[in-house]
Amino acid sequence: MFFSSPPMASISIVFLVLSITFVAGRAQPNEPSRVRLGTSLTYPTSWPSPSHRFAFGFYPQGSGFAVGIWLVGMDNNITVVWTANRDDPPVTSKASLDFTKDGKLVLRTEQGPEQVIASGAKGPASYAVMNDSGNFVLYKNDSKITWQSFDSPTDTILQGQTLLAGAELASSLNEGDHSTGRFHLRMQTDGNLVSYPRNSGDAASDAYWNTGTSGSGFNPNGFLFDLYLNSTGGLNLVNQSNSATVYTLNDHLFSSGDINLDNNNNTIYRATLDVDGIFRLYSHTYNENRNDRVHLLLSTLENSCDIHDFCGLNSYCSAIGSKAGCSCYPGFDFINTSNKFLGCHQNFNEDDCRRSEDPEMLYNVASLENMSWADRPYSVKLIEERGCGKSCLVDCNCGAVLYTDTYCSKYKLPLRYGRIRNVTKPTTAFFKVYHPHQVHEVLIESKRSLILILSIILGSFLCLCLVLATSSILVYRHKFDRYRKLTENVNLGLAEEFTLRLFSYSELESATEGFQEELGRGSYGAVYKGTISEGGKTIVVKRLEKHVEEGDREFRAEIIAIARTHHKNLVRVLGICIEGNRKLLVYEYMNNGSLADLIFKAERPPIWKERIRIALDVARGLLYLHEESEVRIIHCNIKPQNILMDDNWTAKISDFGFAKLLMPNQSGATTAAEGTSAYLAPEWEKNSLISFQTDIYSLGVVLLEIVCCRRSIEVNVSTTDEIILSSWVYDCFAAGELDKLVKDETVDFRTLERMVKVGLWCVQEDPTLRPSMKNVVLMLEGTINVPIPPSPVLSIVVS
């Protein structure tokens, strides 16, 4: 049973074969055993060097095998030092290497033509040797070398090996894949030894390390230098014309320890351009048991962030200790999250900027300290720091700006060789990030299943409540205690942000101290301020007072739909309470009052930019209700009193979701008309018809109010033409006198005209002319053009 196990069997075969080859090698100690013409090789046999420290043959790479030379280490660990045709795909275990009768080394695979790996460059080969230096050599019949692997190094030179002037080492792709990677080290014909990212074009600014051994200071006459690794681990630049050492790298590299280089027969030196682009010198020390210990001796760089292109385009390197990592700039995502070295791309479409009349509306600014990158700015200006970030938003060519010492430099994408570094002058980089309302949709999507679970739990819980409520009134008190315990224990275990709490009536009664502090009385009931006992969070409790004919179950479904809405520009529902006839909703408390306070009552109304932002906030909140929430919701009561401002002065729509709930027969005009009529669409007043278009009308009125900072109907005005805001605005617009509408000087007339046009489209008496919410948002953002609006009043020919 033990021997029938297939993996064990194959491992034994490997060992058997290996020992046979080793025994064959040992027959003539340290006498290179010749590979004769007509010999062939398949995995796992190999042609070892006399000392068995090196071998030539197939080694495992990826899912197959590659042909190369390796250093044999402990546990049969191998260090690959050379690979034939490194960029060819791996071959299968069926592939064979044949040293043909005509002196060529060819690779035969099942599929595809045979490939010549080596053939005599200076006459036909008659035998081959895997030399103890790690060099695989083809000899002619006069024992002259006709081909050797040392002439075409890949990523490594071994002791005794030369990297000739004009040649290069190229790093491997990764530890397990020796095909050509991302960096190269060039022994340039000007005498300089230089590291560059391979796909960079090798300009001086792409170089991240060099010996500086070219030019007037060192090599004015342009002699050719070679890089030579000598037998004692000296890495030297050697003058080709007189073989003199002109530069010793060892004196200039970072040493990793106190291990002295020595002339020990048991040590093999190896210098490799590693996967990460750093050129390193290693020693492999052998003892009697043919095992090796590997030591890192020297390296060209210590900090990976010094390597250009260590992090790909549009990403930056930061080092914590000896570890370096790559991160995307704000507004960018990794091209491939499982390979963070490949760089990042912008996570929004730059075309939006070109389509938008006012790109500043689309983006926010994000910043990073002490950033540097290699590119040249296309514009450098003297401006203050705030203006520097903003100047990028309005410029579609701008990918990022760098602010240093009053200089604001603009850069195009892609950004190369980014890193955080210790700078002499503090530097701040600014980036565009897309407005968060897009991001939110994704969040909602991912929370949808969570919400589903939540509503199932909630649903079953409410059923339980129903059973309790219909139970005998006599035992009600008794049961109530248990019920309350149950409620308090309902911890749905979700992140605070998405948890909907179930409150008991008594809990809310005590939170509001017996519904004492009434904040206001809306169409659907009174609103009270309260404080939750745990955490001391301030809340708003809305007690629905209309009696509903509908079944409780349907009512609950509606309440849950309201509670499930979640958007930056909607006031959040924290919890609900339904006990018999008592129906209450608990909201977050908005510290900064309503939009009405802000634009009608405040001594100094918000500046133009702020007003534009608020208008967009409101529009985005309404877009969510109309088109993006799970249940499409008509608000029916959009007015500045229902738009609340949070701590950050973000506008949030409140009081949504009750129209359908409390006016099931769609005749809510009487309910909502109290003090609201200025915002009601004409068709509603006439026919009590509710549709999404009625909300758009109300929004239009609000937009115009935000623009002008006055109520839509204002009696206290200089001329009667000004009483009705929408007609006054249209008159000013038609007459080209928009400046009459605004009092402050900071107004940007381009955005003013756009706001006015959008507002006028929304307040069209003909509902079919009003735009959809999506288009309202796109027009406000400046992403699509706003056509010239007609007069909002249905055209009646006046003689």
Ligand X SMILES: *[C@@H]1O[C@H](CO)[C@@H](O)[C@H](O)[C@H]1NC(C)=O
Residues 668-697 that bind ligand X (CB under 6 A): none
Instruction: Single out the residue of 210, 230, 510, 772 in contact with ligand X (rule: CB under 6 A).
Output: 230
Verify binding: residue 8, ligand X, rule CB under 6 A: no
- Strand-pair partners of 227: 163, 237
Verify binding: residue 242, ligand X, rule CB under 6 A: yes
Q: Which stretch binds ligand X (CB under 6 A): 418-426, 577-585, 590-598, 666-674?
A: 418-426
CB nearer to ligand X: pick between 105 and 634: 105
Report in angstroms how near the CB of residue 256 gets to ligand X at its nearest. Answer: 17
CB nearer to ligand X: pick between 187 and 662: 187
Return d(Cα 53, Cα 548) in angstroms, integer. 90
> DSSP for 127-184?
EEEE-TTS-EEEE-TTS-EEEEGGGS-SSEEETT-EE-TT-EEEEEEETTEEEEEEEE
> DSSP for 369-388?
ESEE-SPPPSEEEE--HHHH
CB nearer to ligand X: pick between 236 and 409: 236
Q: Are 317 and 306 in contact (CB under 8 A)?
A: no
Return d(Cα 791, Cα 733) in angstroms, integer. 10
Report in angstroms how near the CB of residue 120 gets to ligand X at its nearest. Answer: 10
Verify binding: residue 170, ligand X, rule CB under 6 A: no
Q: How many residues does the chain have?
A: 799
H-run or E-run covering 525:
strand 525-531
CB nearer to ligand X: pick between 131 and 569: 131
Candidates 619, 564, 559, 566; CA nearest to 595 is 619
Give the DSSP letter of residue 600: I
Verify binding: residue 428, ligand X, rule CB under 6 A: no
Report in angstroms how near the CB of residue 617 gets to ligand X at its nearest. Answer: 31
User: Can you give the three-state secondary structure of 511-536, one letter per residue?
Assistant: HCCCCCCEEEEECCEEEEEEECCCCC
CB nearer to ligand X: pick between 421 and 479: 421
Q: Which residue has the tokens 């070892």?
A: 48
Report in angstroms how near the CB of residue 423 gets to ligand X at its nearest. Answer: 5
Instruction: Single out the residue of 239, 256, 499, 691 in contact with ligand X (rule: CB under 6 A).
Output: 239
Report in angstroms how near the CB of residue 324 gets to ligand X at its nearest. Answer: 10
Instruction: Single out the residue of 88, 132, 385, 683 in contact with ligand X (rule: CB under 6 A).
Output: 132
Residue 603: exposed, middle, or buried by beta-carbon count in 10 A (0-12, 13-18, 19+)?
A: exposed
Return d(Cα 93, Cα 681) in angstroms, integer. 78
Count of other CB atoms within 10 angstroms of residue 770: 25
Binding track, positions 31-70, relative to ligand X; x by CB under 6 A? ----------------------------------------
The verdict on whether omega for the bond into residue 664 sits within 30 degrees of 0, i.e. cis, is: no
Instruction: Single out the residue of 12, 28, 77, 406 in contact with ligand X (rule: CB under 6 A).
Output: 77
CB nearer to ligand X: pick between 102 and 550: 102
Report in angstroms how near the CB of residue 235 gets to ligand X at its nearest. Answer: 8
Residues 494-523 that bind ligand X (CB under 6 A): none
Crossing angle of helices 608-623 and 692-708, rounded to 10°: 170
Widest distance between CA atoms in the chain: 121
Instruction: Single out the residue of 5, 40, 93, 141 in contact with ligand X (rule: CB under 6 A).
Output: 141
Candidates 354, 353, 368; CA nearest to 434 is 353
CB nearer to ligand X: pick between 4 and 242: 242
CB nearer to ligand X: pick between 63 and 263: 263
Tokens of 538: 């301030």
Tokens of 351: 């075309």
Spatial strand order in the sheet of 64-72: 46-48, 54-61, 64-72, 78-83
CA distances from 53 to 74, 381, 632 (A): 11, 62, 74
Instruction: Single out the residue of 179, 236, 272, 283 in contact with ligand X (rule: CB under 6 A).
Output: 236
Report in angstroms how near the CB of residue 484 gets to ligand X at its nearest. Answer: 50
CB nearer to ligand X: pick between 225 and 697: 225
Q: Are 69 and 82 in contact (CB under 8 A)?
A: yes
Verify binding: residue 338, ligand X, rule CB under 6 A: yes
Report in angstroms how near the CB of residue 40 gets to ligand X at its nearest. Answer: 22
Instruction: Single out the residue of 28, 336, 581, 687 in contact with ligand X (rule: CB under 6 A).
Output: 336
CB nearer to ligand X: pick between 309 and 507: 309
Residues 594-633 that bind ligand X (CB under 6 A): none
Tokens of 370: 């002490």
Report in angstroms how near the CB of residue 236 gets to ligand X at its nearest. Answer: 5
Verify binding: residue 248, ligand X, rule CB under 6 A: yes
Instruction: Single out the residue of 28, 339, 406, 591 in contact with ligand X (rule: CB under 6 A).
Output: 339
Report in angstroms how near the CB of residue 789 gets to ligand X at its nearest. Answer: 47
Residues 363-382 that bind ligand X (CB under 6 A): 369-370
CB nearer to ligand X: pick between 338 and 746: 338
Number of residues that bind ligand X (CB under 6 A): 40
Q: Which stretch binds ligand X (CB under 6 A): 88-96, 261-269, 614-622, 677-685?
A: 261-269
Instruction: Single out the residue of 73, 330, 767, 790 in contact with ligand X (rule: CB under 6 A).
Output: 73
Using CB atoms, what's the residue nearest to ligand X? 234
Dihedral class, residue 62 (left if φ above 0, else alpha if ψ from -120 to 50, else beta): left
Candidates 89, 134, 85, 133; CA nearest to 106 is 85
The verdict on whether omega for the bond into residue 44 sits within 30 degrees of 0, i.e. cis, is: yes
CB nearer to ligand X: pick between 128 and 559: 128
Return d(Cα 732, Cα 266) in angstroms, integer. 94
Candidates 391, 375, 312; CA nearest to 344 is 312
Instruction: Single out the residue of 210, 231, 499, 671 in contact with ligand X (rule: CB under 6 A).
Output: 231
Report in angstroms how near the CB of residue 772 gets to ligand X at its nearest. Answer: 36
Verify binding: residue 426, ligand X, rule CB under 6 A: yes
Return d(Cα 316, Cα 372) in angstroms, integer. 9
The residues of the shown chain that bind ligand X, judged by CB under 6 A, are 73-75, 77, 131-133, 135, 137, 141-142, 145, 160, 219, 223, 230-232, 234, 236, 239, 241-242, 245-246, 248, 250, 263-265, 336, 338-339, 369-370, 420-423, 426
